[in-house]
A = this chain, B = another copy of it.
Amino acid sequence: MTSPLVECVPNISEGRDLEKINAIVEVVKQTPGCTVLGVEPDADYHRTVITFAGPPESVVEGAIALIEASVWLLDMRNHKGEHPRLGVVDVCPFVPLRDITLDECAELARTVVERLAQNGDIPLFLYGAAASRAERTMLSHLRRGEYEGLKARLDGSDQTHSNETKLPDAGAMIWSESVARSGGITVGARSILVAYNVNVEEQGASVAKKIGSIVRSSGRLLKSDAGGKIRSRGMLDSVQGMGVPVDELGISQVSMNLLDVERCPLHLAFKTCESLAEDHDTALCGSEIVGLVPLQAMLEAGRYFSPDATSDNALVSAAVDGLGLNRHHHFDPGKHIIEWALEQEGNI
């Protein structure tokens, strides 16, 4: 007998101060029913991906507690990092893991936003399956201009947003000291995705940026001098991607979201980036799975790298080797593979 299980993957705009990160994670751990499955700080992004799961009502409480703690502890006014962001919690998606639909997860996101809006001091945006209208579905549209552009959006001087994407869905609609600290917070719902970063052997991110815009499904926007616009598609299906430097390691990454890991398996993303890196006389140095990955995705990658392997363990091991998941990062199958992590936590 199973029961509904929801994953929540908030990203907070703090990737360096472990004391603050731990304090924020702690409020989730203290929320009854919530199990923290991963905490992945990134100093260059200045951002931490936190993964937790539990029954829907518990995850709602955990998310609210996490957002309130982040608003309390973090401050956007001096925040600089490689990853685009709008506020102290820059994305807080609800993801259906078991016995719950995407629509029901969207309802959880709306509940969180309504509860937080009661104080009225944070600009709150709903995205993904929880978006209030089609134009607001894409996070990249809502986030255009990032934190630095938010003041202009609220005081009406912004020229880059349409009326459909400019303002928050709820909460603060006016710029203030507290909004300057928190920025805008984006809460949403989406299907499970795999956050997958491929490491490129280069300082800076010149090659990684080129690869990112070749592989991402949205491809490249191509303009004519006279203002004509057309878009090529990318080499990978259902993938968001961009190139970023990882100064800490002296490498760069093609940072991707595999939105449908059946359409774009891990090994396809890896080998396509590898082939494009070779075009530029450089090489890959492994890759990184941030957060959770479905077991099937690892098994499929394992079959590609080691067609003769049969057991799940041997296939996972072949995938870890083939994708170089331990080259610059650490991959613990018991923590990163959803099914195995849930087992370890007593099925939550």
Interface of A toward B, CB cutoff 8 Å = 210, 214, 219-220, 222, 224-228, 230, 232-237, 265, 267-268, 271-272, 274-276, 279-280, 303-308, 322
Contact = CB atoms under 8 A, between A and B. Distances in A.
Contact of A304 (B219, B220, B230, B233): B230
Query: Which 8 pairs between the two chains have the least Cβ-Cβ distance?
Result: A228-B304, A222-B271, A232-B272, A232-B235, A210-B279, A224-B305, A230-B268, A224-B304
A225 B268 CA distance: 14
Given A230-B304, A265-B230, A307-B227, A235 B214 contact: yes
A185 B25 CA distance: 70
A267 B224 contact: yes
Contacts of A279: 210, 280
Contacts of A272: 220, 222, 232
A233 B237 contact: yes
Nearest to A269: B232
Contacts of A276: 214
Contacts of A268: 222, 230, 232
A241 B137 CA distance: 35
A2 B50 CA distance: 69
A265 B229 CA distance: 12
Nearest to A211: B279
Contacts of A235: 214, 219-220, 232-235
B306 A226 contact: yes
A304 B91 CA distance: 37
A225 B307 CA distance: 10
Contacts of A232: 235-236, 268, 271-272, 275
A178 B267 CA distance: 49
B275 A224 contact: no
Contacts of A271: 222, 224, 230, 232
Contact of A226 (B230, B280, B308): B308
25 contacts: A219-B235, A220-B235, A220-B272, A222-B268, A222-B272, A222-B275, A224-B267, A224-B271, A224-B305, A224-B322, A226-B305, A226-B306, A226-B308, A228-B267, A228-B305, A228-B306, A230-B265, A230-B267, A230-B268, A230-B271, A232-B236, A232-B275, A233-B235, A233-B236, A280-B280
A242 to B, nearest CB: 15
Contacts of A234: 235
Contacts of A303: 228
Nearest to A265: B230
A95 to B, nearest CB: 26
A224 B267 CA distance: 9
Contacts of A236: 232-233
Question: Which of the listed residues A222, A276, A307 has the most CB atoms from chain B within 10 Å of its own CB?
Answer: A222
A272 B237 CA distance: 18
A265 B222 CA distance: 13
Question: Which of the listed residues A219, A275, A307 has the most CB atoms from chain B within 10 Å of its own CB?
Answer: A275
Nearest to A220: B275
Given A214-B235, A235-B214, A235-B234, A226 B307 contact: yes
